[in-house]
């Protein structure tokens, strides 16, 4: 595995590979890697000649500075995992390398309603920061395939929109990999390392609440299912931001289900000081 810290060097290396007809797959991460991230590497290796992973904790997508400061950093462990998984290239840039002109957002990405609901509502500016860094990384790597995890369902939809509005969709294909879960159902997440042993056991309640929605779903009003899940999590000590049932293609909330449209249930809640998100396709 080759490690690059400078965008110029990485770009030159990949350009020389791509001129030889070698196809690049890319998985952007913020480190603290787990099996979910490694599944992206494995998917990329099956479909591309070169697999690139970036590790960069992006300051512009944290609307809570303390959350940025507490984000886990495990770079030595991450490097070992990537080498074992067969990753070809690791990009490990500094903030100055990603934002040579400063972190101020100069171009607003027109994401429409996607940035005003769910994560967008509770984390103002978050998706502008996500688009800012992913756009920059894509311009550096210029992959044929971009790999992301379904656990960040709304983020995947935002990046799909980013590719559309920048025209990058003509050359880059977004590949979404299924959410990997720990025993009991807890979605794998870098933030899980901040949970105590007791909290990790309690955190499976989010998956259980979403799975209950899936089990009880039937045509008609969905309000009761959402309220039941919200109440169950609150009673188990979570501070819930949202539980929503939405159209799986548009993410628009579904108040009345016709029995046919594909739906996804999504939730975000704090357990102690850790904010956890999860989602589940319902049908």
Cβ distance 25 to 51 under 8 Å? yes
Cβ distance 146 to 26 under 8 Å? yes
Specify if 208 maps to a domain.
yes
Specify if 185 maps to a domain.
no
Q: Domain range holding 46?
A: 2-177
pLDDT digits (tens, 9 = 90+) for 191-223: 999 999 999 999 999 999 999 999 999 999 999
> Are residues 148 and 212 both part of a single domain?
no
Share of the chain above pLDDT 70, in %: 100
Quote the CA–CA distance of 31 and 75 in Å, as a whole number: 7
Question: Domain containing 273 — which CATH number?
Answer: 3.30.1300.10
> Are residues 269 and 215 both part of a single domain?
yes
- What does the mean pLDDT of the chain come to? 96
Specify if 283 maps to a domain.
no
Quick check: is 37 catalytic? yes
Q: Catalytic: which of 13, 37, 126, 135?
A: 37
> Are residues 173 and 248 both part of a single domain?
no
Query: Residue 102 pLDDT more than 90?
Result: no
Specify if 68 maps to a domain.
yes
Residue 30 annotated in ligand binding: yes
Residue 33 annotated in ligand binding: yes
Residue 281 annotated in ligand binding: no
Residue 148 annotated in ligand binding: no
Quote the CA–CA distance of 141 and 203 in Å, as a whole number: 36
Specify if 96 maps to a domain.
yes
The torsion of the CA quartet 48, 162, 4, 30, rounded to 10 degrees, works out to -100
The number of folded domains in the chain is: 2
Cβ distance 202 to 209 under 8 Å? no
> Are residues 157 and 31 both part of a single domain?
yes
Specify if 13 maps to a domain.
yes
Question: Domain containing 26 — which CATH number?
Answer: 3.40.50.620
> Are residues 29 and 94 both part of a single domain?
yes
Report if pTM > 0.85. Answer: yes
**C-alpha distances in Å from residue 150, one per residue of 15, 36, 50, 68:** 29, 10, 22, 22
Average pLDDT of the segment spanning 243-247: 98
The pLDDT-based confidence of 105 (bands split at 50, 70, 90) is confident
Among 86, 91, 20, 25, residue whose Cα is nearest residue 54: 91
pLDDT digits (tens, 9 = 90+) for 27-67: 999 999 999 999 999 999 999 999 999 999 999 999 888 88
Last residue of a domain, one of 177, 199, 230: 177
> Are residues 148 and 200 both part of a single domain?
no
Specify if 184 maps to a domain.
no
pLDDT value of position 106: 79
The pLDDT-based confidence of 108 (bands split at 50, 70, 90) is very high
> Are residues 73 and 213 both part of a single domain?
no
Specify if 227 maps to a domain.
yes
């Amino acid at each position: 595995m080759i490690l690059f810290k400078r965008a110029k060097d990485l770009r030159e290396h990949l350009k020389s590979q791509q001129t030889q007809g070698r196809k690049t797959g890319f998985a952007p991460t913020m480190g603290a890697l787990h099996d979910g991230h490694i599944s992206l590497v494995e998917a990329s290796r099956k479909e591309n000649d070169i697999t690139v992973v970036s590790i960069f904790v992006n300051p512009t997508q944290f609307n809570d500075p303390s959350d940025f400061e507490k984000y886990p950093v495990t770079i030595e462990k991450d490097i070992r995992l990537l080498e074992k998984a067969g990753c070809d290239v690791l990009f490990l840039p500094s903030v100055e390398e990603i934002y040579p002109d400063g972190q101020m957002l100069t171009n607003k990405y027109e994401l429409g309603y996607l940035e005003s609901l769910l994560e967008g509502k509770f984390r103002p500016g978050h998706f502008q920061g996500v688009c800012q860094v992913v756009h920059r990384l894509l311009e550096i790597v210029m992959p044929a395939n971009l790999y992301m995890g379904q656990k960040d369902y709304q983020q995947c939809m935002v990046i799909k929109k980013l590719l559309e509005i920048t025209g990058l969709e003509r050359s880059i294909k977004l590949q979404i990999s299924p959410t990997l879960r720990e025993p009991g159902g807890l979605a794998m997440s870098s933030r899980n390392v901040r949970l105590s042993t007791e909290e990790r056991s309690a955190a499976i309640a989010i998956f259980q609440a979403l799975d209950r929605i899936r089990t009880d779903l039937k045509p008609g009003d969905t309000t009761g299912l959402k309220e039941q899940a919200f109440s169950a999590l609150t009673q188990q000590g979570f501070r819930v931001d949202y539980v929503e049932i939405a159209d799986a293609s548009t993410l628009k909330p579904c108040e009345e289900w016709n029995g046919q449209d594909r739906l996804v249930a999504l939730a975000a809640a704090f357990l102690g000081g850790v904010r956890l998100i999860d989602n589940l396709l319902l049908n």
